[in-house]
Amino acid sequence: MLHDDATTLGYLENAAINSQKIAIGRSRGDFDNDITLRFALIYCVLIIGECASKISLTLRHDNPQIPWHNMISMRNILIHSFYAIDHGVCWNVLAHEIPQLLAQLKQVKINDV
């Protein structure tokens, strides 16, 4: 089922918000040692990357401040190289990149036709 960019951006933002809610009060050690926490947070990152891949090329081009390629690449690495996931990279994305992404998403311009 295809969704318009606004709907897909909503799913992406919800996954980012959920990742932050899940991670509140948690540490890198928690992430490393709690498989349920790790799987939940990685799933949020997967949704973010999948949504990014569904955003139109026009919207991506019009909003270069969003790291579309990085989000899609992260999703691909997590899916296709699941056996070699770097927990440090994942935690950095969750702790630093996603909060920045949430701020950047507020600046996204959607040109409805």
pLDDT at residue 84, as a whole number:
81
pTM: 0.91
Degrees, nearest 5: CA angle 102-41-80: 105
Please answer whether residues 41 and 51 qualify as being in contact, where contact means their C-beta atoms are separated by less than 8 angstroms: no
pLDDT at residue 2, as a whole number:
64
